[in-house]
């Protein structure tokens, strides 16, 4: 992967998201920025991409890794164009399983 950098229009969105939160609370912007990053960088979050997001938010890279690995909506490895997921928990299955 070449140098990790958001396109100017994506960076403008990132800056707008960060401005929603008070000074010192930029970590609150992490989830929507990870969505933008995943969208822009081939539908997955490689370590350099997560490091880049951490640098933008002035947080430690491990903080980004923890969040990205917790939520199933973030892909930590390359995936196909379409991703099918099935919920197997009780509440999801009620009436459908």
What would the pLDDT profile of 8-58 be if each residue is shown by its tens digit?
Answer: 999 999 999 999 999 999 999 999 999 999 999 999 999 999 999 999 999
> What residue ranges do the domains of the chain occupy?
8-93
The pTM is what?
0.83
Q: Which CATH superfamily is domain 8-93 in?
A: NADH-quinone oxidoreductase subunit E (1.10.10.1590)
HEC string of 14-81 equals: HHHHHHCCCCCCHHHHHHHHHHHHHHHCCCCCCHHHHHHHHHHHCCCHHHHHHHHHHCCCCCCCCCCC
């Amino acid at each position: 992967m070449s140098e990790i950098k958001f396109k100017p229009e994506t960076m403008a969105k990132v800056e707008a998201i960060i401005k929603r939160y008070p000074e010192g609370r930029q970590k609150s912007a992490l989830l929507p920025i990870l969505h933008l990053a995943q969208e822009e960088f081939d539908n997955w979050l490689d370590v350099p991409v997560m490091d880049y997001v951490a640098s933008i938010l002035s947080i430690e890279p491990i903080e980004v890794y923890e969040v990205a690995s917790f939520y199933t909506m973030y892909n930590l490895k390359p995936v196909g164009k379409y991703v099918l997921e099935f919920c197997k928990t009780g509440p999801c299955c009620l009436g459908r399983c």
